[in-house]
Amino acid sequence: MTDHDLDAYDFALPDALVAQRPADRRDGSRMLVLDRATGAVADRRFADLPALVRPGDAVVVNNTRVVPARLVGRRPTGGRAELFLVGRGGDGTWEALARPGRRLREGARVLFDSGLGAEVVAVDAETGRRRVRFTEGGAAFPDAAAEDAALDAAGQLPLPQYVDREPDAADRERYQTVFARERGAVAAPTAGLHFTPAVLDRLRAGGAAVHEVTLHVGYGTFEPVHVDDLRAHRVAAETVRVTAATADALNDVRAAGGRVFAVGTTTVRALESAAGADGRLAAFSGPTDLTVTPGYRFRAIDALLTNFHLPRSSLLVLTAAFGGREHVLGAYRHAVEERYRFYSYGDCMVVL
């Protein structure tokens, strides 16, 4: 078995270790520290992160904001119907996944609370995705802002499928990072969920800089890898924005000998998409389908803070490409033995 085989990224995980709710405090999670040169691990707390970041380093976070993309309503006949919004089109419609698909054909309508309605205007025969148009009280929305407000009021945050419960009021806060500003994601950049304003202040007080990039996490983050040979895998494109000011600041950090800490795999993909062959960053705005697989040469980051990922997932593959497959899977085995909490609402690890 080679590093390119998907089977090489499997591991056993007891169901009891899949976190169903966040920790009582954002910064109360455990943090496993992995030395990627030696494979050595140490058990810490996330609140210890500022002690691992040196003066002159930069911590980069993803400021995307999750939209309440899951809409549960009813058909005119009274049957339950669900739409999961994937993205807004340029013609005033939305691309969506639909359940029950056999009932929501072209022309079908779904009714939600507060007078919100949706009509299926087209069905993609290949993907099964629907194109839907929303109305309020039977009338078109005057602008996108009004539509967004109505969708936010009616929608639920789309918790991952392995969270085996319905979202509640607490998720409205805890499934967003404290720096979530740029609306557009359908899943949270979960490594950022551990941060508090106090931790950010401690990082800055210790001489580190904190910078933001944007990568709007798309539905592809939920999709499994469908190929056995990772060299044939591609992730779905997602929208990225790295400003010129951020790119210049991070170039200065590395030129002065500082390190760039990427918070989450989404931040990694944003920064690596903006990096040239020489490692220098430039402004970048647009879609990226950058797919990190074994042998990828990282150009823009020096350390990675990330949550624990699903077996056989592209996120685990990216983490292993950075930290080394054997070292990362060894760290995962340690995390299972020590009963760390896994996935979106779970604990985290930092790879140095």
> pLDDT per residue over 325-344, tens digit each?
999 999 999 999 999 999 99
Q: pLDDT digits over 143-198, tens only?
A: 989 999 999 999 998 888 899 998 898 999 999 999 999 999 999 999 999 999 99
Q: What is the Cα Rg of the chain in Å?
A: 21
How confident is the model at residue 215, as a pLDDT? 97
How confident is the model at residue 127, as a pLDDT? 86
Whether 222 has a pLDDT exceeding 80, the answer reads no
Which CATH superfamily groups domain 70-154?
A: QueA-like (2.40.10.240)
How confident is the model at residue 138, as a pLDDT? 86
> So where are the chain's domains?
6-66+172-351, 70-154
CB 291 within 8 A of CB 233: yes
Whether 220 has a pLDDT exceeding 80, the answer reads no
pTM for the full predicted model: 0.93
Whether 223 has a pLDDT exceeding 90, the answer reads no
Same fold, 6-66+172-351 and 70-154: no
How confident is the model at residue 114, as a pLDDT? 78
How confident is the model at residue 90, as a pLDDT? 78
CATH top-level class of 6-66+172-351: alpha beta
When pLDDT is cut at 50, 70 and 90, the band that residue 113 belongs to is confident
Answer whether the bond into residue 100 is a cis peptide, omega within 30°: yes
Residue 37 or 220, more confident: 37
| Alpha-carbon span 241 to 205, nearest angstrom | 27
Q: CB-based contacts of 230: which residues, under 8 Å, 6+ apart?
A: 3, 4, 5, 6, 293, 294, 317
Residues of the chain with pLDDT > 70, as a percent, come to 100
Q: How far is CA 84 from CA 87, 95, 135, in A?
A: 9, 9, 17
| Alpha-carbon span 323 to 298, nearest angstrom | 11
User: In whole numbers, what is the pLDDT of the chain averaged over residues?
Assistant: 95
Q: pLDDT digits over 17-72, tens only?
A: 999 999 999 999 999 999 999 999 999 999 999 999 999 999 999 999 999 999 99
Give the DSSP H/E element, type plus range, for residue 270.
helix 265-273
CB 223 within 8 A of CB 187: no
How confident is the model at residue 50, as a pLDDT? 98
Q: pLDDT digits over 310-329, tens only?
A: 999 999 999 999 999 999 99
Across 238-254, average pLDDT: 97
Residue 9 or 222, more confident: 9
How confident is the model at residue 91, as a pLDDT? 86
Nearest to 29 by CA among 12, 48, 11: 48
When pLDDT is cut at 50, 70 and 90, the band that residue 231 belongs to is very high
